[in-house]
Structure 1
């Protein structure tokens, strides 16, 4: 499992931006108090390790007609616990099964779905060292047999274009699709430009967006430094993939020139 950047620190950083804040799911550090408060406010919540990525260690907890329940991953298998009568017992079980270290609790967004399988959207942003951010493409991750995460390896999911996902999920026409893509690209630029104040050396950002069932945009996660780009090669049109590869070569060349000047 990969340990890297702090989701909590990054959430706090973006929460200070009043424009981006409106797109962030409610998020807090996991505690008995926040578990109780979030489940009083939202029917379902995610529990996420602060420093694990790619879907590792995620659990989902929810209210049920008879109390509470939760689900977790064990390898690639979902283990569900149901008929938990009290919030105290739910807290004990989550604490027992949660990943070591700090964990977050987050509002679960009722994601738009295709044939009952939720999806999220990856936007790829890149720039040369100290240059302006550019948008390099979208792909959509559709959850597989594990429907509470969209990570491809863990859920057994699939890839498709954003146009196809919007047509199949929302029955959008070309004008509506173009409008939604413009909104996502504008927000991607805002997120990337803001990120310069978090880690100025970063040249690649993969932003995971969700759309809820009403079509509202949510920021799920901001992945930086080495965001996965290989799914672009799985799309019918490979042009975004080759643009990304060319840009990566240009970034490496620019860094080599910088190092040679310093010497």
Structure 2
């Protein structure tokens, strides 16, 4: 397949699951079914349910198993609790409206002022046709939202600023270099399956041990989010590379 845009999240997850190196960074992910969601909730306190085809975090739901019994479901800014799994899944099925969905192990992400954040790593083919991680930016979830996407109210911020409460300056630099290496490895694996791609936005979650978890891979990432960084050389490079392979005129 040579297309530069791959919409299906499942199609982009499969190559990562089949690769020995990247598999360990992918939260347990499966096609949504009544039985699969139940089994994931038996193993994990939180499970995300998201459309296989979708952007900007639209349609994403978060299901949490409550310690006293029952379940909590959040979507958008709405929250509801259900006394049993049958009632919960009835609502999930109604919101899904017959569309293909995925269920994914929830990761306890690091927080900034009580709001969860994840990281977008921009990986591009350089003018010399080598993969390079050209930009790293954090995205802080809007209050009350379960997704961090900028187009869904998330706030883009420099990752270094958010990691200051957790790591030393040296530790932050090491973490950012590690994320860039992870992004390049992901790009190489995806490229073998989809030869037409020239860029990826790799969405990575960090837990309390700073383990990178690949939450999603985008084959048409927004290059302009990097305008939000104080260092303008980052967005200039991202756009220069995008022009070189024809994404931007």
Provide the TM-score with structure 1 as the length reference: 0.87
* Larger RCO of the pair (alpha carbons < 8 Å, separation 6+): 2
Is this contact kept in 1: 2:140–2:154, CA < 8 A?
yes
In the alignment, does 2:74 pair up with 1:80? Answer: no
Gaps of 5+ in 1: 257-263
Indicate the residue corresponding to 2:74 in structure 1. Answer: 71
> What RMSD over aligned residues (CA atoms) do the two structures have, in Å?
2.0
Indicate the residue corresponding to 1:59 in structure 2. Answer: 61
Measure, in 1, the Cα distance between the counterparts of 2:64 and 2:244.
47
Measure, in 1, the Cα distance between the counterparts of 2:190 and 2:116.
28
Is this contact kept in 2: 1:49–1:99, CA < 8 A?
no
Gaps of 5+ in 2: none
Is this contact kept in 1: 2:6–2:12, CA < 8 A?
no
In the alignment, does 2:192 pair up with 1:158? Answer: no
Measure, in 1, the Cα distance between the counterparts of 2:176 and 2:126.
24
Q: Secondary structure at the match of 1:252?
A: coil
Q: Secondary structure at the match of 2:192?
A: coil
Indicate the residue corresponding to 1:146 in structure 2. Answer: 144
Provide the TM-score with structure 2 as the length reference: 0.92
State the 4+ residue runs in structure 1 displaced beyond 2 angstroms: none
Size of the aligned set, in residue pairs, is: 244
In the alignment, does 2:226 pair up with 1:232? Answer: yes
Decide whether aligned partners of structure 1 residues 133 and 106 sit closer, same or farther in structure 2, where only a CA change above 3 A counts: same
Indicate the residue corresponding to 1:252 in structure 2. Answer: 246
Indicate the residue corresponding to 2:170 in structure 1. Answer: 175
Greater gyration radius: 1
Q: Secondary structure at the match of 1:38?
A: helix
Indicate the residue corresponding to 1:135 in structure 2. Answer: 133
Deviates more, 1:159-168 or 1:51-60: 159-168
Is this contact kept in 1: 2:127–2:241, CA < 8 A?
no
